[in-house]
Amino acid sequence: METPVDTTQYPIFARPGLENSIWYGSAVISLLATPEMTGGRYALQIFHIQKGFAPPAPHRHDPEDFYILSGQVRFWVADKEVLATKGDFVRTLPGVWHTFQVESDEAEMLMIFSPPGLEGFFQELGRSAEALELPAGRVGPPDPNRVRTVGSKYGIEFAPPGTTPRDIPKLP
């Protein structure tokens, strides 16, 4: 739900810092714009992620926007597969199955959630970052059962265990 934006608090300036960053699996995620900052219109995160990072399974939910700042990230969205690189933009639509995987050694991407809410999924499953560097094995992947439980709280539907990106076009 949109709320009026308090323009006395503008402009908003944010950068990644320990106070707004978490470790989630092999990623460091910084929440740059919260729903409170944007009047409930969107949330914006920057992901710094390592090679091989991927969501636990193909999934679907509200729209999600990705802007690649560096690196290479392969996306599977519905029946499409694309390798996104610096400067590329990928948007998923509501209810469309999708996933991604980092193919370069590292990648950075902005993720925009509009409407906001999905940022809470990462905040709930992650833990406070101890540094703004990639966790380098210090944080394992979240427990798959907990991911599914927390995901349902945020409207995320995960494909059945064992579903691969190439199975996405066959999902109902």
Chain segment 33-79, per-residue pLDDT in tens: 999 999 999 999 999 999 999 888 899 999 999 999 999 999 999 99
Residue 89 has pLDDT above 70, yes or no: yes
Measured distance CA(135)–CA(128) in Å, rounded:
11
Q: What is the CATH number of domain 7-170?
A: 2.60.120.10
- 25 Cβ partners below 8 Å, 6+ apart? 53, 135, 139, 140, 141, 142
Q: For residue 13, what pLDDT band results from cuts at 50, 70 and 90? A: confident
Please state whether beta strands 127-128 and 80-85 pair in parallel, antiparallel, or not at all (unpaired): unpaired
pLDDT in the model for residue 138: 59
Q: What is the DSSP string of 79-112?
A: TEEEEEETT-EEEEPTT--EEEEE-SSEEEEEEE
